[in-house]
Amino acid sequence: MEARQARSRSEVEQALALRERVFCGEQGVALAADQDGLDEQAIQIVAVEAEQVLGTCRVLLDGEIGRLGRMAVEHDARGSGIGAALLAAAERSAMDAGARSMRLHAQRYVEDLYARAGYTPYGEPFVEEGIPHIAMEKRLA
């Protein structure tokens, strides 16, 4: 498995389809909330094995802040380290693009994944699309 920036339109399309399955199909998020029109300007990160996208996330840049979002992993591939690999690839890509810190809204049930990678929570927990979240941040450089 390789976690890296998407290299083709096909990989991006697979990533969008994966997000739809996870966020809309499994979690009940509206498609319009997931596919918000910002994907074209985002750095798309994918975890690929045998030409199949098993995981994805994206990074939007806001000056020196990277904003990680839309992390999703195929149901059968969860717990195998793909999330951590995606996170590391996203951080490298954000730093290469000039980011000095990364922020994200973590779903509370996977907050530990981000904490193990050095992210710290800030602010109060909140609900986004009916799902409990916490804002987290990490210094990259």
- Closest to 43 measured CA to CA, from 89, 111, 105: 89
DSSP class of residue 30?
-
Tens-digit pLDDT string for the chain (141 aa): 999 999 999 999 999 999 999 999 999 999 989 989 999 999 999 999 999 999 999 999 999 999 999 999 999 999 899 999 999 999 999 999 999 999 999 999 999 999 999 999 999 999 999 999 999 999 997
Provide the edge-to-edge strand list for the sheet that holds 65-73.
2-5, 43-49, 52-62, 65-73, 101-107, 131-139, 120-128
Which domains does the chain carry?
2-101 (3.40.630.30)
Q: How far apart are CA 27 and CA 130, in angstroms?
A: 9
pTM summary value: 0.94
